[in-house]
Amino acid sequence: MQFVQTSIIPQKTDQEFAVQKPIAIWLFVCCALVFAMVVVGGVTRLTDSGLSIVEWQPLVGTVPPLTQNDWDELFEKYHQTPQYKKINLGMSLEEFKTIFWWEYFHRLLGRVIGLAFFMPFLYFLAKKAVDRPLGLKLSGIFLLGALQGGMGWYMVKSGLVDNPHVSQYRLTAHLGLAFAIYAAMFWVALDLLNPGRGLSTNSGLRSLLNFSTTLSALIFIMVLSGGFVAGIRAGLAYNTFPLMDGHFIPPELFMLEPWYRNFFDNMTTVQFDHRLIAWTLAILVPIFWLKSRAAPLSGSARLACTLLLIMLAVQITLGISTLLLVVPLTLAAAHQAGALLLFTAALWVNHELRRQ
């Protein structure tokens, strides 16, 4: 094996590692909360609960309705929405409470994540455990979190005007931003836990790293395509596999004008694209895994590569099952959770390969 160039990352002292380990654990806890947020958000969407609260009240809205008058007032506001008038006309108060609680807990969890991030951040700053580079990273993550709160309300607003469904563009942006926040926290936590090792520029390892980076980007694109599938309910059509109602390339692929609208508004094209990305990953990830077996990797790097392969198999199985059974709530929520777990595995692979 020939190494073209080797640079050494300075080793952290035991004292530095002891200080940064609690910060890494805190970030992993925040990642777990974001994971729960993604799952609850998926259930909220699948149960059409997201439009049950028609106001954005970051502070006042923390307190749920406590009296019958509170419920009557909220229900009357919901009566004015397109969703009630066009879809849920005649809904009882008890039925309204079911969708209300899903949206309420979704928003409440968002507030909990904000506090779980901000308060420890202030504590670590006060203890001078955060240097300037880390402080800038954490500040950036906090700003992304604030942006996500605004993006959530911007998404909900799109379903309160004329259309009883939220915009698929805003839904996808909301989902993508959640994954970006999760990725930033997860990556910083991994950096803090890793004490630093030699970073090789061996051509074989560099090629493998480029391969894994491409796979990570492709998985993120698949997540975004899944947002469009959810946004226009494309999963309720073409509930056959591997063909789409007898076609590998369905004839309705470009039925909308102008042509580019099909990639965002056409149920056929949106689902076809999602399937195509899944097929691509089903081919590339096993190839990547085989290449990783021949590379001089550490035990943790090999484990990460194998986990990526396993998670892809699980996720594809969940996706096919969700499609064939016409999007049952439990499977659909598991499929959304699986997307984040698959993305997590890809991030871990990338981090391990950068440290070989």
Could you tell me if 152 and 176 are in contact, meaning their C-beta atoms sit under 8 angstroms apart? no
Long-range contact pairs involving 307-312 (C-beta distance under 8 Å, separation at least 24): 307/345, 307/348, 307/349, 308/215, 308/342, 308/345, 308/346, 308/348, 308/349, 309/285, 311/338, 311/341, 311/342, 311/345, 312/281, 312/282, 312/285, 312/342
Euclidean distance between CA atoms 274 and 170, whole angstroms? 18
DSSP string, 269-308: HHHHHHHHHHHHHHHHHHHHHHHHHTS---HHHHHHHHHH
Does the annotation place 351 within a ligand binding site?
A: no
Burial grade of 242 (CB within 10 A; 0-12, 13-18, 19 or more): exposed
Euclidean distance between CA atoms 115 and 78, whole angstroms? 29
Contacts of 64 (CB under 8 A, 6+ apart): 104
Distance from chain centroid for Cα 51: 21
Euclidean distance between CA atoms 152 and 274, whole angstroms? 23
Could you tell me if 54 and 84 are in contact, meaning their C-beta atoms sit under 8 angstroms apart? no
Rg over CA atoms, the chain = 23
Does the annotation place 274 within a ligand binding site?
A: yes
DSSP 234: G
Structure tokens at 51: 């439009």
Binding site per annotation, positions: 274, 335
Binding site per annotation, positions for heme: 274, 335
